[in-house]
Amino acid sequence: MGSGAALEVAGLVKRYGGKTAVDGLDLSVAHGTVTAVLGPNGAGKTTTVETCEGYRSPDRGTVRVLGLDPVAQAARLRPRIGVMLQSGGVYSGARAAEMLHHMAALHAHPLEVGTLMDRLGLGGCGRTPYRRLSGGQQQRLALALAVVGRPELVFLDEPSAGLDPQARRAAWDLVRELRADGVTVVLTTHHMDEAQELADDVVIVDGGRVVAEGSPEKLCRGGAENSLRFTGRPGLDLASLLKALPDGTAAAELAPGGYRLTGAVDPQLLATVTSWCAQNGVLPDGISVERRTLEDVFLELTGKELRS
């Protein structure tokens, strides 16, 4: 393991004709961590990752992967990284096990192919030509191909897209194991739960730039606060409730009898609300505190839904 970051992107700019896909993007990924890159469609995620993989050259800025230039030093870098490709570029007649054995043979210390196939539920389709695999099986094979060489750093493009729940779990377990083995993982995803489950760090990209980054906990803590919801009889006097609450708290009746408070929701606020309810003869049917999720953060920052 070298010193410095496993992946370092500084001021990356990438244009397609007149279209600026990546617009001064900075990114630093520490060794042995899982980083999830989130962003709406067209944000520049794939372009960034493909530049890190050496498939595209930057128009401006620098990219270093394991300390190497992914284009100029591709021959040295390729054996040390794993790349999960989407179906394009695969010879459709190749059989799943052949492809994995071939990829394994290119690396000095590969994983055992049979075990890996079983892990990812591919044990029964080793002799199946690629074109006859289901979409989910192709996806699992792409994941297996990315990791079979026991890379130091692996790029995973939407690793669980299109997988059934069981295969999704298997893919997540594999990512956790890679991390436990000290592998650096950079994944793109549209699934907030995947990022929340797997990532040490989340990077949100929009308009070709990083608009937020940090651990899921940090991102969910910052910015707007949590909310408290309760249900009671319709038409409660919210102005009187607000008088009892700290400045900066907002209250709304979202639906008849459905109330939401936003602000610094802490135990004291909860106690004040229940005490106000007692004084006003209100027995809430339900009361809950909701924490901000990554999806909330994403919506606030980008104004767009997380899912494609």
* Binding site residues, ligand ATP, CB under 6 A: 16, 19, 21, 39, 41-47, 308
The four Cα atoms 230, 231, 235, 240 give a dihedral, to 10 degrees, of -30
Judged by beta carbon, residue 39 or residue 149, the one nearer ligand ATP is: 39
Judged by beta carbon, residue 47 or residue 137, the one nearer ligand ATP is: 47
Judged by beta carbon, residue 52 or residue 120, the one nearer ligand ATP is: 52
Judged by beta carbon, residue 45 or residue 168, the one nearer ligand ATP is: 45
Segments of 184-276 assigned E as strands = 184-188, 201-206, 209-214, 227-231, 250-255, 258-262
Closest by Cα among 146, 153, 111, 109 to 2: 153
Annotate 96-112 with b (16+ C-beta within 10 A) or e (fewer).
bbbbbeebbeebeebbe
Give least dist CB 188 to ligand ATP, A. 7
Judged by beta carbon, residue 47 or residue 184, the one nearer ligand ATP is: 47
Give least dist CB 252 to ligand ATP, A. 33
Give least dist CB 186 to ligand ATP, A. 13
Give least dist CB 40 to ligand ATP, A. 7
Question: 95: exposed, middle or buried (C-beta count within 10 Å: 0-12, 13-18, 19+)?
Answer: middle
